Amino acid sequence: MIDSMVIAALLALLVAPHVTDTAPCAEAARFLRTERHMLAEVEVDTIDDWRTKKRVAGCRITAAGGTEIGVNKEAVRFYELLRAAKWVRTPDPRDSPNEGSLRFRWEQSDCLFNINAEALLGTDAEQRVNDKLQVPAGQTRYQIFVMCMPAMAAAPH
């Protein structure tokens, strides 16, 4: 006889998104590390995506870097460079432009990029990248948090 707790645990595994890799984050992490010279850590994640109205398997990137032009101007430059690197806005992105968060697509991945002047999440990953980052004189530290998932159509409005 199977215990009801075992059945409940098995059912939870069947309905919960199972994250096994960080493939949706690969290009975003490469861009942050090589093009923006940031320290970046990639982790698996389950994302509650308001655009698709689904919980999806995905990944997150926690990054820290330095800028010589200030965080606000860096955010503008970052998104310009992202577009120049052939990232395109996700169709019907439903992002938060007034909060500095924009959603972009690379091939089969959708990534929501969030740029901040300081660490806001209090995660171990933020602590690790900030501990490793040596900000050169004349630069200001800034953070980027990215959530990536497989590209999907948006849910109807």
Q: Which residues contact 30 (CB under 8 A, 6 or more apart)?
A: none
User: Could you give the C-alpha distances from 80 to 62, 69, 73, in angstroms and in order?
Assistant: 20, 15, 11
Percent of the chain with pLDDT over 90: 75
Nearest CA to 115 among 134, 154, 91, 141? 141
How, if at all, do strands 88-89 and 140-150 pair?
Answer: unpaired
Q: Which pLDDT score is estimated for 16?
A: 44
pLDDT for 3-22, tens place per residue? 555 555 544 444 444 445 78
Q: Which residue has the higher pLDDT, 93 or 28?
A: 28
pLDDT for 98-110, tens place per residue? 667 899 999 999 9
Q: Determine the Cα–Cα distance for residues 12 and 29; give it in Å rounded to an integer.
A: 30
Q: Determine the Cα–Cα distance for residues 123 and 33; give it in Å rounded to an integer.
A: 20
Q: Determine the Cα–Cα distance for residues 25 and 58; give it in Å rounded to an integer.
A: 8
| Six-digit token string for 5 | 């707790």
Specify the residue for token string 């994250």.
Answer: 19
Q: Which pLDDT score is estimated for 121?
A: 86
User: Could you give the C-alpha distances from 44 to 56, 61, 123, 125, 146, in angstroms and in order?
Assistant: 11, 9, 14, 12, 12
pLDDT at 152 over 90: yes
pLDDT for 58-106, tens place per residue? 999 999 999 999 999 999 999 999 999 999 999 998 877 666 789 999 9
CA 85 to chain CA centroid, Å, is 17
Strand-pairing partners, residue 61, are 42, 146
Q: Which pLDDT score is estimated for 95?
A: 78
Band (157; pLDDT cuts 50, 70, 90) = confident
Q: Which pLDDT score is estimated for 2?
A: 58
Q: Which pLDDT score is estimated for 1?
A: 53
pLDDT at 112 over 90: yes
pLDDT at 142 over 50: yes
Q: Which pLDDT score is estimated for 47?
A: 92
